[in-house]
A and B are shown apart, each in its own frame.
Chain A
Amino acid sequence: MSIRDRTAIVGVGTSRFVMKTPESPMRLATQAFKAALADAGLARDDIDGLAINIGWPLGVDYDRFAEVCGLKIRFADQSWTHGRFVGPALQHAAMAVASGLANVVACVCGVSFIQERGLLGGPGDFEGTREEGGTHEENPVYGLTAPAAGAALSAQRYFALYGATSEQLAAVPIAFRKHAMLNPQAIMRTPLTVEDHQNSRWVVEPLHLFDCCIVSDGASVVLVTSAERARDGKEPPVWIGGMQGMRAGRDEFLFAPPGLGIGAQRAFRYTPTEDELSVYRMAGVDQTDIDALYTYDAFSPLVWFVLERFGFCGLGEAAAWTQTGRIELGGALPMNTSGGLLSEAHVSGWNSIVEIVRQLRGACGERQVKDARVMQWATAWGDSTIFHR
Chain B
Amino acid sequence: MTGEYRKPLPRVTSDNRPFWEATKRHELRLQRCGACGRFRYPPAPVCPDCLSEDAEWTPVSGRGTVTTFIVMHKVYFQSFAGDVPYNVVQVELEEGPRLTANLVDVPNEGMTVGMPVEVVFDDVTPEITLPRFRRTS
Interface size, A (range): 35 or more
A121 and B76 CA atoms in complex are apart in Å by: 6
Contact in complex: A140, B77 (CB < 8 Å): yes
List B21-59 residues whose CB lies under 8 Å from chain A: 41-44, 48
Specify which of A156, A160, A161, A202 lies most central, judged by the most chain B CB atoms within 10 Å of its CB.
Answer: A156
B9 in the interface, Cβ–Cβ < 8 Å? yes
Q: Which residues of B contact A143 (CB under 8 A)?
A: 7, 72, 76-77, 80, 83, 86, 88, 102
Quick one: CB contact mask for B73-102 with A, threshold 8 Å, 1 for yes? 110110010010110101010000110111
Closest to B71 in A: A205
Known: A122-B76, A123-B77. A141 touches B8 (CB 8 A): yes
A123 and B77 CA atoms in complex are apart in Å by: 6
Known: A131-B11, A160-B112, A264-B42. A137 touches B100 (CB 8 A): yes
User: B76's contact among A145, A153, A156, A160, by CB below 8 Å, is which?
Assistant: A145
User: B74's contact among A131, A203, A267, by CB below 8 Å, is which?
Assistant: A203
Q: Which residues of B contact A157 (CB under 8 A)?
A: 67-68, 113
User: B10's contact among A121, A141, A156, A204, by CB below 8 Å, is which?
Assistant: A141
A204 and B68 CA atoms in complex are apart in Å by: 13
Closest to B130 in A: A141
Min CB–CB distance A156 → chain B (angstroms)? 5
B13 in the interface, Cβ–Cβ < 8 Å? yes
Binding site for A on B (CB under 8 A): 7-11, 13, 15-16, 41-44, 48, 67-74, 76-77, 80, 83, 85-86, 88, 90, 92, 97-98, 100-102, 108, 112-114, 130, 132
4 tightest A-B CB contacts, nearest first:
A132-B42, A122-B76, A160-B113, A205-B71
Binding site for B on A (CB under 8 A): 121-123, 125, 129-133, 137, 139-146, 149, 152-154, 156-157, 160-161, 201-206, 250, 261-264, 267
